Structure 1
Amino acid sequence: MTHTVTSEPLLTPAEVASMFRVDPKTVTRWAKQGKLTSIRTLGGHRRYRETEVRGLLGQSDTGSRP
């Protein structure tokens, strides 16, 4: 397993859920479906790239969700 170090801000599932106004479990489901890329921490928690989330958020403003 390869771990990459990124200087890009990462968001928790709760932060992403708040941005989309959905439940955090929905964000996890999107990641499992491949609609959103997740990064796993050493503790096994999911984190999401802020740039990708904001890009998807811009798409959802036009009417489509991930």
Structure 2
Amino acid sequence: MTTRTPGSSSLVHEAEPLVTVKEVAALLHVSTETVLTWVRTGRLAAIRTPGGHPRFHASQIRSLLRGEPAPTGEGGQE
């Protein structure tokens, strides 16, 4: 089930934990700037908090760690 978070146009899965840029950078052994570049270029899909900060679904990061391609494009990027 999905719901809209108050003050946001992002759809968020209720049971899906969200991961911060810093956490993604640590898990993937890259800098936070690299993660932000991937978001800006559409290489990594992100949702935005009401404050505009990118967040990532934990399942998406687990897929990356398994070597699967990251979902990209407008569908997941808000």
Aligned residue in 2 for 1:33: 41
**Identity of matched residues, %:** 39
CA RMSD across the alignment: 2.1
Aligned residue in 1 for 2:28: 20
CA distance in 2, matches of 1:57, 1:5: 22
- TM-score, length-scaled by structure 2: 0.69
Q: How many residues align?
A: 62
CA distance in 2, matches of 1:3, 1:11: 15
Question: Which runs of 5 or more structure 2 residues have no equivalent in the other structure?
Answer: 1-7, 71-78
SS at match of 2:47: strand
Q: Which has the higher helix share?
A: 1
Aligned residue in 1 for 2:12: 5
- TM-score, length-scaled by structure 1: 0.80
Q: Which has the higher strand share?
A: 2
**Does residue 1:48 correspond to 2:56, yes or no?**
yes
